[in-house]
Amino acid sequence: MTPFLLTRAVVKNHRESEKWVHLAQRIGLVGIRGRRPKVLWIHAVSVGEVNATIPLLKRLTQDYPEHQIVLSTTTVDGAKIVRTRLSNFVTHVYFPLDIPWVISRFLNEVKPKAFIMIETELWPNLLSECARRGIPSLLLNARLSDKSLKSYQGVKSISRQMMSNITFVLARSTSDADNFVSLGLSRDKVRTVGNMKFDYNFTSDLIDDTAAGSTSEHGLTVCFGSIHEGEFGILVDVMLQLREKLSGIRFILAPRHPAKLESYVRHLRRLGISFVSGDYQAYVIRDRVFDVFLVDSIGELLKFYSASAVAFVGGSLVPLGGQNLLEPISVGVPVITGPSLYNFQEIADGLIALDIVVSVTDATSMTEEICDLLKKEQKRESKSSRGREWLASKQGATQQTMAVLRLFI
């Protein structure tokens, strides 16, 4: 297994710009500068988990200024977000491979007072070594879908051992908490506190003087965000149908993974669809005329949502469980999603029941729903205000999380 993991890491990171730093840290060669005596190690896999952690990170730096916070990510995209938004108060490293000697080397260098995992990050060797060394392992904003539960139950003995090595779990919902217990976690080691993503100040990422708005001289704007492979063709069909029904619409296409951009470019050109690509600064150039804008940047999706009248959130027309619905809601944009929502099922079910979010199954139903929203400004405004009110009512998880963390830090 060890040669396989090392070979996979080399092959994967050969394509990344900072491949050697990534690889060195993945095998435990961290090299943290200016290391303080007290260290908190927090792991957030990628962009979504990093964003979910921001409210907690700000509280930790305020309440524990003597601690150094080491924030690890697995992906390069996650690292970019850390360096862009959080470099002033955290130290970034890449997450080590779950190989015993690598884990041992990493822990020897970092010497964390506590290890904090975000959402669902369960690594048997790491958890075992932390338990052996007496390092508390805490799982925060924890989620475990029914689908993931079945997967972990397929390796029941390993899963039960991991559950015994976890110190405490703070779950996002009662169903998540119940699933961890079903996996073998003791009931007295889990508490439901809600989702820290609700506490994130999304609007702090917006730049008022460059906001394009949902309406321009070219008409209303529809944003298709977090598009995954398998969804792009469907959304282009929606776009073409909407063009026939309504004039003057502009479209934003934001792929989840920019590495797929070239295939999307070829798709648009094959259909003869003219477009402009770039980041948000390119989008807001005042004298630039276009009907379709293809996003090629990372970490700017919220800005594009804020510039739209309607948003579709991807990863949901294909069986991938959906992406973050809270971002467009936070900036008052009506949201449409596909049926695959298991990553955020409880949140999605509540939003759909309140008619804040609409779930569609295909290009035809999506076209009809978007067309209806674009024609009815009052309907858009109602969804916008109800969505923001709902979001405000869900806040408070970070405060409850901090109360528990104080017992272990």
- Asked if residue 298 and residue 183 are part of one domain, the reply reads no
- Asked if residue 381 and residue 236 are part of one domain, the reply reads yes
Alpha helices in 64-94 (DSSP H): 76-85
What is the predicted pLDDT for the residue at 36? 75
Does residue 3 sit within a domain?
A: no
- Asked if residue 289 and residue 353 are part of one domain, the reply reads yes
Distance from C-alpha of 229 to C-alpha of 88, rounded to nearest angstrom: 35
Does residue 6 sit within a domain?
A: no
- Asked if residue 144 and residue 30 are part of one domain, the reply reads yes
Cβ-contact 221, 215 below 8 angstroms: yes
Does residue 256 sit within a domain?
A: yes
Supply φ then ψ for residue 142, to 5 degrees.
-70, 135
Does residue 85 sit within a domain?
A: yes
- Asked if residue 191 and residue 45 are part of one domain, the reply reads yes
Integer distance in angstroms from the first to the last C-alpha of the chain? Answer: 34
Does residue 7 sit within a domain?
A: no
- Asked if residue 268 and residue 254 are part of one domain, the reply reads yes
CATH number of the domain where residue 223 is located:
3.40.50.2000
- Asked if residue 64 and residue 189 are part of one domain, the reply reads yes
- Asked if residue 185 and residue 214 are part of one domain, the reply reads no
Domain residues for the domain of 382 are 203-393
By CB atoms closer than 10 A (0-12, 13-18, 19+), residue 84 is exposed
Does residue 120 sit within a domain?
A: yes
Contacts of residue 18, defined as CB under 8 A and 6 or more positions apart, other chains included, come to 76, 79
- Asked if residue 381 and residue 327 are part of one domain, the reply reads yes
Cβ-contact 190, 46 below 8 angstroms: no
Burial 29-51 (b: 16+ CB within 10 A, else e): ebebeeeeeebbbbbbbebbbbb
Q: What tens digit of pLDDT does each residue of 115-135 get?
A: 999 998 899 999 999 999 999
CATH number of the domain where residue 163 is located:
3.40.50.11720
What is the predicted pLDDT for the residue at 8? 57
Does residue 4 sit within a domain?
A: no
Low-confidence stretches of the chain (pLDDT < 70) are 1-18, 33-35, 203-218, 286-287
- Asked if residue 274 and residue 126 are part of one domain, the reply reads no
Does residue 5 sit within a domain?
A: no
- Asked if residue 376 and residue 400 are part of one domain, the reply reads no
- Asked if residue 134 and residue 228 are part of one domain, the reply reads no
Domains identified in the chain, total number: 2
Sheet hosting strand 39-43, strand order edge to edge: 91-94, 68-73, 39-43, 114-118, 137-142, 168-171, 190-192
What is the predicted pLDDT for the residue at 217? 45
